[in-house]
Chain A
Amino acid sequence: MVTVQDFDCTYENKWCPGCGNFGILSSMKEAFAALDLPPEKLLLISGIGQAAKTPHFLRCNLLHSLHGRALPIATGAKMANHDLTIVVNSGDGDCYGEGGNHFMNAIRRNVDLTLLVHNNKVYGLTKGQASPTSDPGTVTKAQPHGVIAESFNPLAVALSLGAGFVARGFSGDGEQLTRLIQAGIRHKGFALIDIAQPCVSFNRVNTHAWYKKRVYDLETENHQTDDLQKALALSFQWGDRIPTGIFFRKETPTFTERLGIIQDGPIISRTHDPQKLQDLLSAR
């Protein structure tokens, strides 16, 4: 039996007090324990940013990598060993900005992993510049006249690219987020959980209270998760009411399932056959 305490680690946490990341971290541990996934069976891969530090704050195998690059790294790890359980921690800047191209293509490949995007609509680690999900008009030190670009809609993009598991969580609803993370890991294929999260240091608008007033759970409204058009329409709902929960779910063959060569088992477990190569070298 894996318990939440199995993930506790002594490494000093480096987030601001009150950060939404703490809720996400708790839900991760709860979800892993509920799935009976011990730390040694878990590989967390992250990019750069406050969210990407998450793997350091629990016991697990981890690769804390480069800004925006967690998804191609995870894709490569899956090619080597598709039995790995991989969870990616990323943020709105890391995943939708620096790693935007990788985000699109990981979805297209349907890599079997769970992507948690800690979306606080602002850059935290570099101190408060606009992120791809910042609302137009948001004023920051770097955007003194307000953000000019439209904000990036990750759920709509993911749905339109054929993502098989698209959900939104809220760092202030740990119970629901735990359920979502479990469902994401159980989902065979690419699972996106965009997590609405306040930034206590740099986002004065989208606070915990602001979200609390607006979020609602799609499950309570009897949303059918196999309805792509409905999911797409809901992905554009933002303002007075903000939907959370699973928008869409559909399993299709994963990236590694479609790779013929690795159907006999992970490529890491195959034996090296020098004779086969020697035949090729000698035949030339």
Chain B
Amino acid sequence: MAVDITIKIAGEAGQGIQTVGDFLSLVCHKAGLYLMAINDFESRIRGGYSFFQIRVSDRPVFAPCPKVNLLVALNQKSCDAYEHELTGDGLIMIDIPDGNSGNRIALPMKALAEKAGGKISANTVAAGACLGLMGAPIGILEEILKDQFGEKSEDVLAMNLSAAKLGFEHVGDIRFSGKFEWKPETPKGILMDGSKAIALGALAGDCRVTAFYPMSPATGIMTYLASLTDDFPLVVEQAEDEIAAVNMVIGASFAGVRAMTATSGGGFCLMTEGIGLAAITETPIVVVNAQRPGPATGLPTRTAQGDLMFVINAAQDEFPRFVLAPGTPAEAFEITARAFHLAEKYQVPVIILADQTLCDSICISEKSLKAPQTIERFITDDSRMESPSEYNRYAVNPSGISPRALPCNGKALVLASGNEHEEDGHISEAISDRILMVDKRKAKLPAMLSEMGSPEIDHEKSEILLVGWGSGKGPIQEAAGLLRKEGLSVGSVHMTDLWPFPADAVTRILETCKRFFVVEGNSTAQLGRLIREQTGMAHHGAVLKYDGRPFFPDEIAEGVRKYL
């Protein structure tokens, strides 16, 4: 029988929801299961409503499920808030004094934790109980606890082992519809969230300098990178604001290293000035915009896909740029590494459009992540020039890409200006120079376009195609599967390479279907509008979600059905 169960651990911020979730994820991963987990929290450090929702399956899963088989409520109000999400045979596990009744299991988390040696191990009790209900062998959790606490102290490890066992045994004979036979296998891949994937992708792209100003949901990328600065040639600097962050990155890149910043929409607004500077000085930079709902502060800890049109058009006037949007952690790794290559090759800004769901969700990537063995640099120096003293930073040639030398790296002087300039970099207001430079920058576009990959199509030749981007990928593919089960001919198209827009490839794909629908986390179908602008093809409907929460497959399927 197929395994597909969802466990929701809900409580106040600060109650250790994440700890329980991490234990469950690690155990399922280690047992060779697939999982997908979302993190939902409010913009507060204590109190309120937060949850970690993990879907466990014996088949690959890349989307959350709205129906909960087991609700672990760390307080009564979380129980009240989410009880309605339970499946008919679902259970609630809660720390209440008066015994089991109906679908409620009384788990004395605090009391068992104290018995184990300290209240602090209550989360381990909960994890043990969840695994007990699911029929898991406790040995895997024990191994994970040894990995986590073994080096800290024997007492802490003994307490947690005892807590896990007490929780596990407490639920020993309770019937749970989500119980299944565990046949531990080797892990199916690596456990990864989007933030870490972007950070590791940056290292794979040979990023040496990052600067940032803390902003959810992008901060995790930078804190993870900061944790690696002892092991890699990498500087991570917290800037005084996002304006400083992007300019530090421009300075570092101008001086010769690959550099990146990460922020969310509000910080990206402040960075647009710098993106313009990178564009006119042709300094490569990578900027991650991990989207959340806006405008202004919007919903700080929630998800959105509302910045597509913004980042394609951000900063005054016109200039070439890349916009890439990963949909899974594995894509985030590859796209980020590639972003550094593209930025340097074309001397343009590259914007990576992520979102909170991608950054904060965990899933198992079966594809192994490979660090490129060599980094191709696109930098020149005196030895490759006929006459270094006559070097012109913005020398015009048909490709629009001028050989880029570094400052203070030889006789060649490097002059760069945010003012419009001559080929040598000096300010110029001459009509001829202005036209020359605009045309030169624009001349990069055909080659840039040729770098754009074709959208990924699942079940091609379907009559209906669901088209999306970003973290919608998993839910959209699963929704298409749900509709196929109803006998409909439905496939899906996932776009990562959004700008320059691969119009020919998109046209070829969309011409094969009878109708296509866009599925997006915004209220105006921005990708749909872009497709129409670039291909002349109009979407036949749109499934849009802008409540700040991730897509669920069944709601997408329902949204599509309305059009049929």
A157 proximal to B (CB < 8 A): no
User: Mask for B275-289, Cβ within 8 A of A = 1, else 0?
Assistant: 001000100000000
Show 27 A/B contacts (Cβ-Cβ < 8 Å), sorted by A: A48-B418, A53-B427, A62-B407, A62-B414, A62-B415, A64-B416, A72-B251, A73-B247, A74-B251, A76-B253, A76-B254, A76-B259, A77-B255, A80-B259, A101-B240, A101-B241, A268-B208, A275-B371, A276-B231, A276-B232, A278-B370, A280-B228, A281-B190, A281-B200, A281-B369, A282-B368, A284-B191
Q: Which of A53, A72, A79 contacts B244 (CB 8 A)?
A: A72
A149–B255 CA distance with the chains assembled, in angstroms: 39
Residue of B nearest to A260 (CB): B230
User: Mask for A63-98, Cβ within 8 A of B = 1, else 0?
Assistant: 111100100111111111100110000000000000
Asked whether, in the complex, the Cβ of A66 is within 8 Å of the Cβ of B252, the reply is: no
Q: What 7 A-B pairs come out closest when comparing CB atoms?
A: A76-B251, A76-B248, A61-B407, A73-B251, A270-B233, A80-B255, A72-B247
Residues of A within 8 A of B418 (CB): 48, 64-66
Interface SS of chain A: helix, strand, loop or mixed? helix
Asked whether, in the complex, the Cβ of A80 is within 8 Å of the Cβ of B208, the reply is: yes
Asked whether, in the complex, the Cβ of A73 is within 8 Å of the Cβ of B254, the reply is: yes
Asked whether, in the complex, the Cβ of A284 is within 8 Å of the Cβ of B248, the reply is: no
User: Mask for B412-436, Cβ within 8 A of A = 1, else 0?
Assistant: 1111111100000111000000000
Residues of B within 8 A of A261 (CB): 229-230, 232-235
Interface residues of B in 212-258 (CB under 8 A from A): 228-235, 237, 239-241, 243-245, 247-257
Q: What is the CB-to-nearest-CB distance from B334 to chain A, in angstroms, rounded to a whole number?
A: 12
Asked whether, in the complex, the Cβ of A40 is within 8 Å of the Cβ of B413, the reply is: yes
Q: What is the CB-to-nearest-CB distance from B230 to chain A, in angstroms, rounded to a whole number?
A: 7
Residues of B within 8 A of A76 (CB): 209, 211, 247-255, 259
Residue of A nearest to B375 (CB): A272
Asked whether, in the complex, the Cβ of B232 is within 8 Å of the Cβ of A277, the reply is: yes
Asked whether, in the complex, the Cβ of B407 is within 8 Å of the Cβ of A43, the reply is: yes
Residues of A within 8 A of B230 (CB): 260-261
A104 proximal to B (CB < 8 A): yes
Asked whether, in the complex, the Cβ of B257 is within 8 Å of the Cβ of A80, the reply is: yes
Q: Identify 13 new A-B residue pairs, CB closer than 8 A, beyond the known A84-B408, A260-B229, A268-B257.
A: A42-B408, A56-B427, A62-B425, A66-B273, A76-B209, A76-B259, A80-B257, A84-B407, A105-B244, A270-B233, A274-B371, A280-B228, A281-B368
A102–B237 CA distance with the chains assembled, in angstroms: 14
Asked whether, in the complex, the Cβ of A268 is within 8 Å of the Cβ of B256, the reply is: yes
A246–B228 CA distance with the chains assembled, in angstroms: 41
Asked whether, in the complex, the Cβ of A267 is within 8 Å of the Cβ of B235, the reply is: yes
A77–B250 CA distance with the chains assembled, in angstroms: 8
Asked whether, in the complex, the Cβ of A284 is within 8 Å of the Cβ of B190, the reply is: yes
A73–B410 CA distance with the chains assembled, in angstroms: 21
Q: What is the CB-to-nearest-CB distance from B279 to chain A, in angstroms, rounded to a whole number?
A: 12
